[in-house]
Amino acid sequence: MAKRIGILGGISAESTAAYYSRIIRGYFERYQDDYYPEIVIFSLNFQRFTDLENSGDQAAYIDEILGGIRALEAAGADFVLMAANSPHAVYEQVAARARVPILSIVEVTAQKARSLGLCRLLLLGIKFTMQSSFFQETCGRLGIEVLTPTGPEQDEIDRIIFGELTHGLLSDESRARLLEILSRYDVDGVILGCTELPLLLKEEDAPVILLDTLDLHTRAALDYALAGEQSPSGEPG
């Protein structure tokens, strides 16, 4: 049987819904049937999660994440996706205490960048992600440089994400502003390092390659869930 996918969501609800639908659609695109893997979702309290993220209390932040992972483990998840980029700041600490594998959004994004031959990337996300170093460290091991926007630009991106995208508000004005920011940087790719950003920015919008972390993560999840499996329609996983 395919592995049961556990999604740690609610961070935010908008991207969690996108995770679910993209996994289902992604399976159908591959096999043209509906024998997709079982999926369980645990939705964290978004405000409590965000408050802990910004508090600097890393131990409490990790405990909050692990509480959700324990619920997914109890529901029979064979592996877990943390459906956001920011909690990957504590990926190693969480993965070491989890009882099932956790599929890293950062690792799959870095590997995709390497496969495309990208060397210099701009990271967009919430301020917490842009001011952390986990993308730089992971990409750096592959010889890929990661830049971040200026402080005022980070403030503006953060406002768009929290004030609009996490509530499902998609604005042409905000899309144009994000495109204006990324056009200022001499890079060969942009990491959409917040799983709400792909809801607003599409590949056809930008003059450079956009690394859609949500799409890359869900595709990797399907690959992992179906490894060694065969669809009842006869197609290999």
Q: Map out the domains of the chain with their CATH numbers.
A: 5-104+217-226 (3.40.50.1860), 106-213 (3.40.50.1860)
Would you give the distance in Å from CA 118 to the centre of its chain? 19
Phi and psi of 230, rounded to 5°?
-135, 130
Report pLDDT for 134.
Answer: 97
Q: Do 70 and 62 meet the contact criterion of CB atoms below 8 Å apart?
A: no
Would you give the distance in Å from CA 76 to the centre of its chain? 22
Report pLDDT for 1.
Answer: 86
Report pLDDT for 140.
Answer: 97
* Integer angstrom CA distances of residue 189 from 118, 146, 217: 7, 10, 17
pLDDT tens digits along 152-206: 999 999 999 999 999 999 999 999 999 999 999 999 999 999 999 999 999 898 9
Q: Do 89 and 132 meet the contact criterion of CB atoms below 8 Å apart?
A: yes
Q: Mean pLDDT across the stretch 18-28?
A: 97
Q: Is the pLDDT of residue 51 over 50?
A: yes
* Integer angstrom CA distances of residue 229 from 18, 43, 219, 222, 224: 24, 28, 15, 11, 10
Reduced to 3 states (helix: H, G, I; strand: E, B; else coil), residue 94 is: helix
Q: Is the pLDDT of residue 235 over 80?
A: no
Q: What is the DSSP letter of 126?
A: -
Q: Is the pLDDT of residue 237 over 80?
A: no
Q: Mean pLDDT across the stretch 231-237?
A: 41
Q: Is the pLDDT of residue 234 over 80?
A: no
Task: Specify the amino acid at residue 122.
Answer: L
* Integer angstrom CA distances of residue 60 from 8, 21, 159, 162: 17, 31, 25, 22
Band the pLDDT of 229: cuts 50, 70, 90: low
Mean pLDDT of the chain: 94
Q: Is the pLDDT of residue 233 over 80?
A: no
pLDDT tens digits along 81-129: 999 999 999 999 999 999 999 999 999 999 999 999 999 999 999 999 9
Does this model's pTM top 0.85? My answer is: yes
Strand intervals (E) in the chain: 5-9, 39-43, 79-82, 120-124, 145-147, 189-192, 209-212
